[in-house]
Amino acid sequence: MWSSSLVLGLLLTATPTPSGSATVPLQELIPLYVERQAPPPPTEALVVQSQLKGHLTPEALLVEAHFEVEVLTSDRWSRVQLLQLGPGVYLTGLPTLEGAAVGALEGQLCFVSQKPGRYSFDVRLTVRPSEPGPEHSAELRYGPHAVPVPLRLEADTNAFTLLEPQSIGTPTLDVYPRQGAIRVRWSSVAAPAVARQTARPPLEPSIPEAQASWVSTLEGKATVHLRYALKLDREQELELELPQDLHLKQVLLNALPLVATEKDGHVRVKVAPARLGETEGTLEVMLAQELGSLHLSGQLRLTLPRVAWPVASLSVQAHLPAVFNYQREGGSMEQYESSEQEAPASQALPGKVLHFRQFLMAASAPTLELGYSVDISQSYFR
């Protein structure tokens, strides 16, 4: 049996400090080094910043939430519970993060990650009143890991009367949380009686502007998010014809979930202005697409839905895997270089970003054909 020994200088805090050396066996020295290792962090992750903004509609409270989360450890998965998704609370906009995910889990809006670092993201929610009636009441409750912060509320005093908290006549005010929850109670201001209304000719419905986001992964799965700006003066039916490779996931009308069914590739929805008496509204359509496996080179095809109403302009952002080079080979949409104002919006999603657009579409389906091949510009052997 052999033993290995090292000379260990012992630094002592007692006064006086003795000097000298000692010979310690290796099997006794190793536990001393293990005890000197840095302790783990006191928690897995922290919410370092929270901001809430909201504005009222006749039927709901629309909330935009901004969070910054710091992940401190990579030994295990970190889960941060931000907001409670109680009855009447709907998620209408979620971010896509690299190395993390944000979504609904066990009745909570949760952030999940195993990669240390700081993550900044935005979430959109719709809080519907708990009971119908002339007075509306909405509640948004914080999760156990979030620090309650006030909600910056925008309310048109000409259209709404704030009952809780009471307004002092300003269009914006801070709603402070009570017992871990934000509570807002309001009623719509009755329109003044008009002795005589002047009839106006009906407005021809149209779509002045449309935006699309196409996100593809290496596994050949893609998501398409379409946002149509509507121009109309009353409730009307809008029909969309979906290509065979696109499948309907969700529809939002004026940021509120809308029940829509797909039959034989046709989707018919009832659309209306965002507010009574106005002529503007928004329709958001989320679609899924199966592209199949991506090879070393090939071709990608994107066909957007055909809309029954005329569309003045369409802009598309394509977020594609960064391992390929892409070249437009055909289709009705033309490629263009993005401006500086569009750059921040394109940085929210990973991958290479390409921009396309098309003008003056009437009952036609926009198309795009892209050729791709492996990008070897960063390879060692060229």
- Whether 357 and 298 share a structural domain: yes
Question: How confident is the model at residue 382, as a pLDDT?
Answer: 46
CA atoms within a 13 Å half-sphere pointing along the CA-CB vector of 145: 21
- Beta-carbon contacts of 182 under 8 Å, excluding residues fewer than 6 positions away, are 52, 139, 140, 141, 151, 175
User: Measuring CA to CA, which residue among 245, 294, 242 is closest to residue 263?
Assistant: 242
- Whether 235 and 113 share a structural domain: no
pLDDT digits (tens, 9 = 90+) for 264-289: 888 999 999 988 888 899 999 999 98
> Using CB atoms within 10 A of its CB, is residue 195 exposed (0-12), middle (13-18) or buried (19+)?
exposed
Q: Whole-angstrom Cα distance, residue 168 to residue 122?
A: 29
- Whether 226 and 113 share a structural domain: no
- Whether 287 and 365 share a structural domain: yes
Q: Whole-angstrom Cα distance, residue 126 to residue 250?
A: 15
Rg of the chain in Å (alpha carbons): 28
- Whether 226 and 362 share a structural domain: yes
Q: Note down the domain range covering 308.
A: 206-374
- Whether 112 and 179 share a structural domain: yes
> pTM (2 decimals)?
0.47
Q: Is the pLDDT of residue 347 over 60?
A: no
CATH number of 228's domain? 2.60.40.1730
Confidence at 131, pLDDT banded by 50, 70, 90 = confident
- Whether 92 and 179 share a structural domain: yes
For 65-92, letters b (16+ CB in 10 Å) and e give: bebebbbeeeeeebebbbbbbeebbbbb
User: Measuring CA to CA, which residue among 313, 303, 308 is closest to residue 360?
Assistant: 313
- Beta-carbon contacts of 96 under 8 Å, excluding residues fewer than 6 positions away, are 215, 348, 349, 350
- Whether 235 and 121 share a structural domain: no
Question: How confident is the model at residue 163, as a pLDDT?
Answer: 84
Q: Is the pLDDT of residue 381 over 60?
A: no
- Whether 163 and 275 share a structural domain: no
Q: Are 244 and 282 in contact (CB under 8 A)?
A: no
Within a domain: 33: no
- pLDDT above 90 covers a percentage of the chain that reads 40
Q: Whole-angstrom Cα distance, residue 205 to residue 189?
A: 28
Domain count, the chain: 2
Confidence at 26, pLDDT banded by 50, 70, 90 = confident
Bridge partners of residue 220, in order along the sequence: none
pLDDT digits (tens, 9 = 90+) for 166-201: 776 777 888 999 888 999 888 877 655 555 666 667
Task: Indicate the residue among 154, 188, 222 that finishes a domain.
Answer: 188
